[in-house]
Chains A and B, each alone.
Chain A
Amino acid sequence: DTEVTQTPKHLVMGMTNKKSLKCEQHMGHRAMYWYKQKAKKPPELMFVYSYEKLSINESVPSRFSPECPNSSLLNLHLHALQPEDSALYLCASSQQGLGLAGGFNTGELFFGEGSRLTVL
């Protein structure tokens, strides 16, 4: 199994709603990522979990709340979003975790198809 699975594929929510995006991988990868991608732009890193611990938070607003329940699952909880938060949200995983002594995250990421979020 070499897939990263994201659900839902599409989500429409109001600014007062609470929703969650889910991501799952069964490749035994030790790092998982959330990226935000606007149309015709590169992905922007939001969060990285390495060995199930939050390793990187790119100063993301608190209305986005990540959670890593176990090594295979990654959630992104959404609350009180703004219309400008509408985007494609990509989950990715990599075999090696970050900052591993004697090791190195080679940067080869496996991406899911994304969850397209529209905030009304």
Chain B
Amino acid sequence: AQTVTQSQPEMSVQEAETVTLSCTYDTSESDYYLFWYKQPPSRQMILVIRQEAYKQQNATENRFSVNFQKAAKSFSLKISDSQLGDAAMYFCAHITQGGSEKLVFGKGTKLTVNP
């Protein structure tokens, strides 16, 4: 069965600093996608960044980047130059090709950004 584990229920960071959110996953499939979704308070969930498992290069989107370690089944999110608007719940998620094609979410990490 696919599982996604986020071991940090809460994290905090000072504005303009860098923070890393951790995620590990488990799958027996070789072809899959990994995601970080952001859910601000009382606002809709949006995709932050996506990583294809077959790509060795780590995905980057502006201030957001990932550290994808396929052998270790690790997929951490780094937020650089943190801004107040980054405060949100962050969910790591995983989907496999050839499996149920259902997106599996981790339990989430609540990120607080301190001014």
CB of A106 within 8 Å of the partner chain: yes
Q: Which of B44, B46, B108 contacts A42 (CB 8 A)?
A: B108
Residues of A within 8 A of B55 (CB): none
Q: Are A109 and B102 neighbours in the complex by a CB distance under 8 Å? A: no
Interface hit among B13-21, B70-78, B79-87, B90-98? B90-98
Q: Which residue of A lies closest to B100 (CB)?
A: A56
CB distance from B8 to the nearest CB of A (A): 14
**Range of interface residues on B (Cβ < 8 Å):** 20 to 34
Q: Which residue of B lies closest to A42 (CB)?
A: B105
> Chain A interface mostly helix, strand, loop or mixed?
loop
Distance A113 CA – B91 CA, assembled complex (angstroms): 16
CB distance from A95 to the nearest CB of B (A): 12
Q: Are B107 and A45 neighbours in the complex by a CB distance under 8 Å? A: no
Distance A43 CA – B101 CA, assembled complex (angstroms): 16
CB neighbors of B among A46-72 (8 A): 48, 56
CB distance from A68 to the nearest CB of B (A): 18
CB of A105 within 8 Å of the partner chain: yes
**A41-B108 CB under 8 A given contacts A108-B50, A114-B44:** yes
CB distance from A97 to the nearest CB of B (A): 10
Q: Are A42 and B35 neighbours in the complex by a CB distance under 8 Å? A: no
Q: Which residue of B lies closest to A55 (CB)?
A: B101
CB of B64 within 8 Å of the partner chain: no
Could you list some 30 contacts between A and B, CB below 8 A? A40-B89, A40-B108, A41-B107, A41-B108, A42-B91, A42-B105, A42-B108, A43-B45, A43-B105, A48-B102, A56-B100, A56-B102, A104-B97, A105-B95, A105-B101, A106-B33, A106-B95, A107-B33, A107-B35, A107-B50, A107-B93, A107-B95, A108-B35, A108-B47, A108-B50, A109-B37, A111-B45, A111-B46, A113-B44, A114-B44
> Chain A interface (Cβ within 8 Å of chain B)?
4, 40-43, 45, 48, 56, 90, 98-99, 104-109, 111-114
Beyond contacts A42-B107, A107-B95, A111-B46: 11 other A-B pairs, Cβ-Cβ < 8 A, are A40-B89, A40-B108, A42-B108, A43-B105, A45-B102, A107-B33, A107-B103, A109-B45, A109-B47, A111-B45, A112-B44
